[in-house]
Amino acid sequence: MGKKQAQSARQERRSEARKAARSDARKPEQKRPYTLTDCMKFGRAANILFVVFIIICLIYYYSIAAKGNYVIPFEIAAYAVEASAFVLFTISVIWMTRLVRARSIMKVMLLLYIVTEVVLMLLEFQFLPWTHYNGLSLGLILTHVIFSGFVSLTLLMLQPENKRVQVIVSITTIIIFAGMFLGLAGYRVYASILLNAFAYIFFYSAMLHQLRLEEVEVDCYGDRARESNFASTMFADTPTMVELPPAPKATVRQRIRRVAESFTDEEHIVLTDKDEKFEYEFGVQEDDDDEYEDYEEYEDDAPDAEGRDGE
Whole-number pLDDT of residue 2: 59
Cα–chain center distance at 196: 20
Q: Which long-range contacts (CB under 8 A, 24 or more apart) does 172-181 make?
A: 172/199, 172/200, 172/202, 172/203, 173/149, 173/199, 175/199, 175/202, 176/145, 176/148, 176/149, 176/152, 177/145, 177/149, 179/141, 179/144, 179/145, 179/148, 180/141, 180/142, 180/145
Domain boundaries, the chain: 36-212, 228-282
Per-residue pLDDT of the chain (311 residues; tens, 9 = 90+): 555 666 676 667 667 766 655 544 444 556 678 889 999 999 999 999 999 988 888 888 777 776 777 778 888 888 899 899 999 999 999 999 988 988 899 999 999 999 999 998 888 877 777 778 888 889 999 999 999 999 999 999 999 899 999 999 999 999 999 999 988 888 888 889 999 999 999 999 999 999 999 898 887 875 544 443 444 454 555 555 555 556 666 676 777 777 677 666 555 555 455 544 444 445 545 554 455 455 455 455 555 544 444 44
- Confidence (pTM): 0.62
Which pLDDT score, from 0 to 100, does residue 55 have?
Answer: 85
User: Given this model, what pLDDT does residue 246 score?
Assistant: 60
Alpha-carbon distance of 60 to 70, in angstroms, equals 9
Interval 49-60: pLDDT, tens: 999 988 888 888
